Amino acid sequence: MIFEDIKANREQPIALLFGTDWWTDCDDAAALALLLKAHKCSLIDLKAVGVSSVMRYSAASVKAVCEEQGLGHIPIGLNKSAERKGLFCLYQKKLAARCGSGFTNADCPEAYKLYRRVLSSLPGKAVLVDVGFPTILAELLASGPDEYSGLTGGQLVASKASEIVVMGGRWDKKAGREYNFCAYKRNREAAAYLCERCPVPLTFLGYEAGKSVITGGKTVPGLTGTAYAAHFSPKGRPSWDPMTALYAIVGDAGNAGYRRVYGAASVDPKTGKNSFAVCDGGTHSYLVKEKEDRFYKEQIDELLRTK
């Protein structure tokens, strides 16, 4: 129902690039499922998926989810330097077993290069959504001219991105700590760099927004349900990533059930702690829920259960 309402007011799909850590939590799978369904309804045009961590089955498991929705052609990039050998994720193995194309990590380009290629080829602008480690966005912004574009990463983002939407940070505390920004040294530095250098509006959905909204679970049809079951979250998980994805699909804070707090965000590159200076006209904003949790929960669960 929600997709029909959006569609009535949308002239053309929003071009969107999706970054995910696709790491040990399964809510990334719910976020990707929502975006693929929105793509099939022509609400968005999902141009690329970038994965900001690398485990053995990263690429194959993402590919399987895309293939399940008939969208196996969507290009997948990896932040290849993020490989951490020895780590294993059961849900990725289960999903990868359903990948019909034999796709592997070796078939993926470097994620920020994929973003450069896609952005430089766009006639208009795209929204960059990231529900993982902010390393792909930081590498994109820091990149120099290449075979795809004579622009620097900062120039390319300024000319081709309308907004960057990030699941990250904790904004209801003075010095918030949240996993995507704090987990590793490279994440902390990337988050700090993103806040300093982002040349377009930067929107955050923080830890505090998603924590109490429980969605998904093993009864969700298809590979999303498989991911939740293999993650041992049969009754669902907090909705950090699917809420961020749904905000981007809706494309409007008010219609998505949020108000914005505008200002300037910063992240300490040593600790990963985030802080926010409120000011009208700031180009950063974080989202504050204006509705009861069930508003977001019912939308996400309904969409996850819709083909």
Q: Interface residues with Ca ion (CB under 5 A)?
A: 21, 28, 131-132, 241
Distances (CA, A) of 58 to 42, 54, 173, 259: 26, 6, 33, 35
Q: Which is nearer to Ca ion, 20 or 149 (CB)?
A: 20
Nearest distance in Å: CB 169, Ca ion: 13
CB 248 within 8 A of CB 6: no
Cα dihedral 126, 45, 34, 94 sign: negative
Nearest distance in Å: CB 179, Ca ion: 8
Q: Which is nearer to Ca ion, 67 or 178 (CB)?
A: 178
Q: Which is nearer to Ca ion, 156 or 296 (CB)?
A: 296
Nearest distance in Å: CB 11, Ca ion: 31
Nearest distance in Å: CB 23, Ca ion: 6
Name the burial class of residue 85, with classes exposed (0-12), middle (13-18) and buried (19+) by CB atoms within 10 angstroms of its CB. Answer: exposed
Nearest distance in Å: CB 41, Ca ion: 23
Q: Residue 59 contacts by C-beta under 8 Å, 6 or more apart in sequence?
A: 51, 76, 78, 103, 104, 105, 107, 108
Nearest distance in Å: CB 238, Ca ion: 11
Q: Residue 252 contacts by C-beta under 8 Å, 6 or more apart in sequence?
A: none
Q: Residue 10 contacts by C-beta under 8 Å, 6 or more apart in sequence?
A: 43, 251
Q: Which is nearer to Ca ion, 149 or 203 (CB)?
A: 203
Q: Which is nearer to Ca ion, 21 or 178 (CB)?
A: 21
- For 293, other C-beta atoms within 10 Å of its C-beta total 16
Q: Which is nearer to Ca ion, 30 or 156 (CB)?
A: 30
